[in-house]
Structure 1
Amino acid sequence: MTSSIQDDAALGRSAFRKAAFRIVPFVGLMFFINYLDRTAIGLAGPNGMNDDLALTAAQFGFASGIFFLGYILLEVPSNLGLQKFGARKWLARIMVSWGVVSVLFTWVQNYEQLWILRFVLGVAEAGFVPGAVLFLTMWFPRQYRMKALAGFYLAQPITMVLGAPLGGLLIQYGDGLFGLAGWRFMFFAVGMPAVIVGFICYFYLTDSPSQARWLTEAERNWFVRELAADTGDRARASGGHLSLRAVFRAPKVFAIAIAYFGLNYGVYSLAFFLPSIIAGFQEQFGTEFSIVERGLITAIPYVPAAFALYFWSRYSARVGFRQWHVAAPLLVAGLSIPVALYMPGPATTIAVVVLTACGVTMTFSLFWSLPTTFLTGVAAAGGFALINSIANLGGFTAPYVTGAVADATGDYRLGMILTGLTLVMSSVIVFCLRLPAAADDERPPTEPVAPLSGPTPEPRDPDTHERTT
């Protein structure tokens, strides 16, 4: 029996490595392109776009944030569409749609066209992040899920590390190419990859392990067995499967959504306005940087943040996920922002911003472990989308409020203090959540199942009769 358990564990490790190597880097690349597209406006603003379109800080903030209103409108329907049509088709459709819209920013002529296109971009991208997370939960059982999500969310700091300097290079050296201003050329250059990768996605991804012909039969059996057992554990821990209707009445879902709102508020406040704050170092500290140098400085905090995400996720997986693994980094991020505002020079300011970037980035890979403790199947699809919809109000509110406050006060200090307070609020909410304990660490290995012969029936939610894996 001991030998059988060891063999099963070895099979699981082998199956995970093979699936993770094929799936996680590609989905991470999709997220890299996604995050670069939605935050490219932050680089374009202080590097020519605001002047060419005569934008105030509040107008820039509104155009940046209205993306999330479009995103919210179709968030839940999009995730349910993914559940119905399959991740491969749905994620490909989303990528091609947003890629086409991103390219159109190349020819925007005024503030009205800018915010309309940002709204349409949000509609086009709706459902991508929760859809990608849901796709990974459909593939990886809990004992490996945090590692897969960590690899996925590693794309975010990498986007800032590589994307900000890349955007700076495109703006500086693309100026005049094809008769375009540098910031216009950047929008074109970051939009086209979404279209290309979207078409590749359709042929490359596999909706579920049972359909993966690139796995051996034993590996497919292992995934199907572990995912079915994982679904049962979560159902027992939460007192049974939640129906989709029950998700929209569950206080825990809304508490997690509000906490995620605060996290998104902090992330996008920094993402959209950090380049503008760095551009303001010239007036504040008497220093001057080129466009490429600003991009490099913007990237600095995200280098240690990428390492922090990786090692924090590994630590959490090794000792067992706990709520404070999310709450503590949020608290550090929230408290560090006001400190950064009163540093005496650019170097010390960026040094404190490193703590902020590490805090919010460490949180991302683990945050979605909170709802997966009690949501499964179609309830998970609807719950993930609902959480992300409410949270993305933070993406709209943060840039608009930060920009409006900057216009009213003449600097970004008060806006950044508000950002810190929202992160502290999120930390307190996560600390106070009462969630079912994870059962996977204690669950004994499941018995081997018969080899697959034809399509494997998937467990169904008893309330909705929808597939739950």
Structure 2
Amino acid sequence: MSDSLQTAGGVKPASRVEESAPSARDDALYSKVAWRLLPFLMVCYIAAFLDRVNVGFAKLQMLDDLKFSETVYGLGAGVFFIGYFLFEVPSNVLMHRIGARKTLARIMILWGLISAAMAMTQTPTQFYVMRFLLGAAEAGFYPGIILYLTYWFPSNRRGQIIAVFMTAVPFAGILGGPLSGGIMEGLHSHGGFAGWQWMFIIEAVPSILLGLAVLWYLDDRISDAAWLDAGEKARLVENLAAEKAVKVEHVSLWKLLKDRRVVHMALICYCTVSSLSGLAFWIPSVIKSTGVVSLLEIGFLTAIPNACAVVSMVLVCRHSDATRERRWHMIIPFLVGGTGLALSTLFSHNPTLAVAMLSIAAAGCMVCSPLFWSLPTAFLEGKSAAAGIAAINAFAGLAAFASPYTIGWIKDLTGSTNWGMYFLASFTVTGAILVYRVPKALVNR
């Protein structure tokens, strides 16, 4: 991508904001804001991600019980993102209008109810419909959180903040793997329900309760925060206003979608989501293919790659914020993640080495997601940020549909997940090339 990208779509480029080193007072203030918001938002996203990907564990029993093929599973896992794609932009624009509290509460309660209803699935059509509805219900949650964080943190602090928030994804794997495996193994056939049915029901409860808690815990804007004094509120607003003048604001949705920068960001996000969603939905199956039989043991083994990803996300994103460098902090993890995916196929009969390679893959692929969002939020603001973030994430949702379905089809065709891992690795190489072509002056701020 040439530097002409910076002026595409008729929008002036974002110039670099000259800032002095953050003061100790600012550090303490943003630490206070982070401790207030991030733990709660992370718990919410753990519940969200768990309800989204626990179908990967359900698959280990569900396919035999319901006589589903790998392709049926892959399509059902992926069709979630069709509903997500269709409803994501309207949901995020609505959040910008009515606030985070009402939007996030509505999303969480609805998806919790639908996730519990997944336990009643009996046919492929029912499976597809429920997954579609789950995606439609959850649409707007993740990009809504990203947008919400832009209301509190300036871009030079946002990389690490988003990274800490995004550790909820591997934490969901660390907690969800043993939990899902334990429920499925321990409650199988209890009360007339299969283990996978109990898993859907039990793991939906936290989402509903957290959805109700959102209404009283979160504040829609800085001015509503009773836990901040007047001086703290003024300082937060002042810091956001300092960078607001150099961002794209209130551009029409059509013009925004014609902006080459936004399209380019959507392509990068597509590659990021392809590798991440493939890992999330297929790690349990890859581990099972190495010969591990116990569902509980599979659950604990899936926690290892996710634990490695937590460490990687925090360290790499912290360094990215400290150096104000974004591109190479994504390019290198992309390539490391792809290498891990490819090498995992060489050790498909050795659980220890396969998990080690999957850990390298997770450490690389998962760190790219929070780092990515420091790119578009460096030049989008206001309503254009709401629409742009949602549009980028919605387009990337098509990758989350295509990847599980394609891997399932490949598995049925070849009888192995190896070619599926090569398929995912190809997106990490493409993503690295696309990031390299982003002008550094646009995002290194």
* 2:412 matches 1:398: no
Change (3 A) 1:314 1:404: same
Partner Cα distance (2:162, 2:108) in 1? 20
* 2:43 matches 1:34: no
Checking the alignment, whether the CA contact within 8 Å between 1:11 and 1:222 is kept in structure 2 is no
**Structure 2 partner of 1:454:** none
Structure 2 residue corresponding to 1:312, chosen from 313, 316, 328: 316
* 2:370 matches 1:370: no
Counterpart of 2:49, as a letter, is: Y
* 2:362 matches 1:357: yes
**Structure 2 partner of 1:348:** 353
Deviation at 1:436, TM superposition (A): 3.8
Q: How big is the alpha-carbon RMSD for the aligned residues of Structure 1 and Structure 2?
A: 1.8
Partner Cα distance (2:97, 2:190) in 1? 44
Checking the alignment, whether the CA contact within 8 Å between 1:12 and 1:219 is kept in structure 2 is no
Task: State the Cα deviation string for residues 25-55 of structure 1 (Å, max 9, x = none).
Answer: 1111111011000001000101x11111111
Partner Cα distance (1:298, 1:438) in 2? 34
1:101-180, aligned counterparts within 5 Å? 101-180=114-193
Change (3 A) 1:230 1:439: farther
Counterpart of 1:388, as a letter, is: N
Query: Number of matched residues?
Result: 426
Q: Secondary structure at the match of 2:219?
A: coil
Structure 2 residue corresponding to 1:23, chosen from 37, 40, 49: 37
Checking the alignment, whether the CA contact within 8 Å between 2:140 and 2:390 is kept in structure 1 is yes
Q: Secondary structure at the match of 1:411?
A: coil
Counterpart of 1:379, as a letter, is: S
Task: State the Cα deviation string for residues 302-348 of structure 1 (Å, max 9, x = none).
Answer: 11111111111111111113211112111111232122101262211
Partner Cα distance (1:354, 1:33) in 2? 22
Task: State the Cα deviation string for residues 360-414 of structure 1 (Å, max 9, x = none).
Answer: 1211221101101211111111100110011011110011100011111111111
Structure possessing the higher radius of gyration over alpha carbons: 1
**Structure 1 partner of 2:28:** 14
Structure 2 residue corresponding to 1:206, chosen from 191, 207, 219: 219
Q: Runs of 5+ in structure 2 lacking a partner?
A: 1-18
Checking the alignment, whether the CA contact within 8 Å between 2:326 and 2:375 is kept in structure 1 is no
Q: Secondary structure at the match of 1:233?
A: coil
* 2:308 matches 1:295: no
**Structure 1 partner of 2:261:** 252
TM-score (norm 1): 0.88
Counterpart of 2:311, as a letter, is: F
Checking the alignment, whether the CA contact within 8 Å between 2:340 and 2:359 is kept in structure 1 is no
Deviation at 1:241, TM superposition (A): 6.2
Which stretch of structure 1 is more off in the superposition, 181-190 or 347-356?
347-356
Partner Cα distance (1:132, 1:439) in 2? 22
**Structure 1 partner of 2:101:** 88
Checking the alignment, whether the CA contact within 8 Å between 2:278 and 2:404 is kept in structure 1 is yes
Deviation at 1:6, TM superposition (A): 10
Partner Cα distance (1:354, 1:222) in 2? 41
Which stretch of structure 1 is more off in the superposition, 428-437 or 374-383?
428-437
Deviation at 1:244, TM superposition (A): 3.1
Checking the alignment, whether the CA contact within 8 Å between 2:77 and 2:404 is kept in structure 1 is yes
* 2:328 matches 1:324: yes
Counterpart of 1:246, as a letter, is: K
Which stretch of structure 1 is more off in the superposition, 241-250 or 340-349?
241-250
- Sequence identity percentage: 35
Deviation at 1:435, TM superposition (A): 5.3
* 2:429 matches 1:424: yes
Partner Cα distance (1:245, 1:11) in 2? 41
